[in-house]
Structure 1
């Protein structure tokens, strides 16, 4: 495998995910990509292009190695490149050609909070930028190092510190990955309830820094609902909160680190809520509706019903529903023909997935209520099989992005939060903008629902521009963000801002908020070493 493919690849570096036959058939019939372009487009290259030269002095390198040991402070070009990109489309595209810009000058691997403290103090003394690094799944260009500096990889801070069944909490180091934490909890009959699509390759610290959401956040909440306390190391000192269930002790300073994306300090420890969990108690089901509006109104009524709510709640819009039928081989099947005969027609129908966790009486009661509301709005029950099939590929489907790009297909996503009253206009106008570009597919789903609104997640696919893919994509991408923002959508629901969305930050939150964030940063990071260079729209 080419070296750069190991760097940018989604999923495990050891596993190549080939396109399923039905997916390949859809791609080949939908998008006209020349065989010459596909064969010429690199899957990766054997050598990376020369990186920006490190400006670290010999004296500084010696001091950092004294803290960490010689093998835990790396200057290797591959290590530097890997820690300076995430999973944003242009980062991956450039990496295929061996091109890495804005790279860190070194990578540090601390093994303890004490070592993190020493690293931050030394970097502050030397005025060297620090970019915290979890597992590299950021899609907002938040891991780039435009001012150089040191990437602090927290992967060795991966321990469970305390498991507390009386308080229903778990305290962990920030570098622990999702599967490790969840396996630990599941063995004891609990769950964290946080399952982002990056779950297999993301960390607790990253979840907090991005203010992330999981696929079951409708029931378990986003990270701001799960996080009880944290410890963070800032250039001005340690911030450490206590896991009170609630408290009125002034503004919650520790919550400044939710969504902070490394601009205030390095998160080293967190206490999270946990819930009792037995998968046998979960009630699953799917419904298909004749149109998107009927599905959305069902979801809204459920969320505002006051009888409880599902943990996993998802709607696919008509185009995503149709494409999922094609990619899974359902199109043209007996089931497909039956649904069409019953009035659930292609280009109009929308699929809904539901899972309710918890006590079996509760899950059965809530699902029964949802089923009644769905039936009232014309929803046809399709059983638990569709949702189970979706669960089986909920992480691995993202790894097909590499294979799609191998075929010359541009694929990326943007997501937003919106109130119910603004949702249809935002969905319709953003789709119109995306579909105004030739030969472009736009799949949209709702995967996080609330009493007052929901998120919309846009996935767009088209053939690459063979002459100027980066320029073409950048212009197209900017237009989507502008359209979302003009139609009442937030800049992000759970991916965060990073540097990608920073140009819109002031118009989103206002000048006074930018000034407030700048003042907090000035207090915690007086020399401006923490993830500098435009993150969150700050100078």
Structure 2
């Protein structure tokens, strides 16, 4: 079928198939074959494809059609129709993923699950809820909070990500030190398999839940899940601490966690991220232990410049330098190492009432205060009030011609300092980089790198982006770190998955062949994706 100039290159779903599908679905379901829908659902928020989009290359391989089911039965009928006509099926949540996991590689039917918002609280007294996979996190938490309940899962993308997406990618929330990651909250799921049949996981005979969680739609289309819920905490205490170095703060974090503390959050920023994110609040009331340039600069900013102005100045200056020379990222990273010192640690507890919160805070803050400078409550309260802001600040960067991205890796405590240094160095040859440490547990912690780069044009941006990511992923593998922690794998990290799970590819192939022998469920993902820089519209 011919398409208009600028329209998707994959043909529409034939009218006969589209009309038959509409007849088989419920009246509230939708089947869309218009260009706007197909282009919209042809990508997620993976920066590799955002740069391509900025360059005018809009789609990898758009779906033949977008289906928006209203019921579980609609999902079943959609998959049966896809099977009958040999079409792939790609599950889609809110589209906020950053790895290309929801990007079609062979067209097919993209199934938008956001209308599956069932809510069964009949077992709430036992701490269990059955929730539809389409719930957007912020809305779900609001509904639970009105009933005095919480899921305890708070990713920074909570306003633009879904329960199904969290489970598909093994998501982590900001308070995961207390609540665990999403795999720690999921008790059971129901999914639609490649034949359109509804399956329960686990079954009385097998527990495939650990394999299903994180499978990114390659083993079935998740439609709902039984999850752990708990009473909404009524009291919280947050506080800031200042360490001289990252290593000093990491030692303090490890010590309190291995002593049995389980705070709501322990979140450590490196020196430049501390300066950019919380300069004024991090130093309010703190007694400087030295009279260095950085502390004088912070004091000057505290008196004269708002935090938003400081952040804007730093980002604009960085973007300007990134445009000037190929050596700019190296120079910027070295300057950040030299000019800025002091690392902010945010710590917090949440409990059922003030008495328990005060007791937990006294224990945690006392241990940290013995090792680090106590900055008081202002930094912690500021972080809590603005904890979701970062997810909505990328668009201006792309509009200015630069690119930004994030990379999350993880390791045990003994490997963490080397992992941080190795990945930061690998990225730093190509992009400007800063980092924070979060999702901390007794055994180890995640590192979350934020980086920005610039090229003379979008094609050079893509080249720099690919070099930075490939160098960083290789460095993570050499350092014994996990190449992903909570963003998933998608197309971005698939070629490096073997570094995380030796032998995992063979296991995945056996499971995939058993449940989806024709490879129709989100094909070309996880173990079978090409190196990401070969993925082009």
Scaled to the shorter chain, the TM-score interval is 0.7 to 0.9
CA contact (8 A) 2:10 2:62 kept: no
Question: 1:338, CA displacement in angstroms?
Answer: 4.6
Query: Whole-Å Cα distance in 2 between the matches of residues 238 and 325 of structure 1?
Result: 49
Q: Which residue of 2 aligns with 1:275?
A: 230
Query: Whole-Å Cα distance in 2 between the matches of residues 343 and 358 of structure 1?
Result: 40
Q: Which runs of 5+ in 2 are unaligned?
A: 296-338, 531-537
Structure 2 residue 316 is matched with structure 1 residue 316: no
Structure 2 residue 433 is matched with structure 1 residue 442: yes
Structure 2 residue 106 is matched with structure 1 residue 114: no
Structure 2 residue 48 is matched with structure 1 residue 90: yes
CA contact (8 A) 1:318 1:347 kept: yes
CA contact (8 A) 2:30 2:68 kept: yes
> Which stretch has the larger CA shift, 419-428 or 155-164?
155-164
Structure 2 residue 305 is matched with structure 1 residue 305: no
Where do 1:359-508 residues align within 5 Å?
Answer: 359=352, 360-377=354-371, 379-437=372-430, 440-466=431-457, 468-508=460-500
Distance 1:342 1:369, change over 3 A: farther
Question: 1:76, CA displacement in angstroms?
Answer: 1.0
Counterpart pick for 1:228 among 184, 187, 205 = 187
CA contact (8 A) 2:152 2:179 kept: yes
Q: Which residue of 2 aligns with 1:238?
A: 198
Query: Whole-Å Cα distance in 1 between the matches of residues 466 and 17 of structure 2?
Result: 38
State the aligned residue count: 479
Query: Whole-Å Cα distance in 2 between the matches of residues 484 and 337 of structure 1?
Result: 37
Query: Whole-Å Cα distance in 2 between the matches of residues 223 and 77 of structure 1?
Result: 35
Question: 1:53, CA displacement in angstroms?
Answer: 2.6
RMSD over aligned CA atoms reads 2.4
Counterpart pick for 1:52 among 3, 6, 9 = 9
Counterpart pick for 1:255 among 197, 206, 210 = 210
Question: 1:443, CA displacement in angstroms?
Answer: 1.2
C-alpha distance after superposition, 1:291-345 (max 9, x if no partner): 1111111110111002x3101221111221122246xx669x8758956549995
SS of 1:371's equivalent in the other structure is helix
Question: 1:120, CA displacement in angstroms?
Answer: 1.0
Structure 2 residue 22 is matched with structure 1 residue 65: yes
Question: 1:131, CA displacement in angstroms?
Answer: 0.3
Normalising by structure 2, we get a TM-score of: 0.84
Where do 1:97-176 residues align within 5 Å?
Answer: 97-98=55-56, 99-176=58-135
Q: Which residue of 2 aligns with 1:77?
A: 35
C-alpha distance after superposition, 1:388-438 (max 9, x if no partner): 22223222222111012222222111101101000111111222222233x
CA contact (8 A) 1:310 1:355 kept: yes
SS of 1:362's equivalent in the other structure is helix
Q: Which runs of 5+ in 1 are unaligned?
A: 1-46
Question: 1:144, CA displacement in angstroms?
Answer: 1.3
CA contact (8 A) 1:319 1:442 kept: no
Question: 1:269, CA displacement in angstroms?
Answer: 0.8
Distance 1:432 1:241, change over 3 A: closer
> Which stretch has the larger CA shift, 520-529 or 343-352?
343-352
Distance 1:343 1:288, change over 3 A: farther
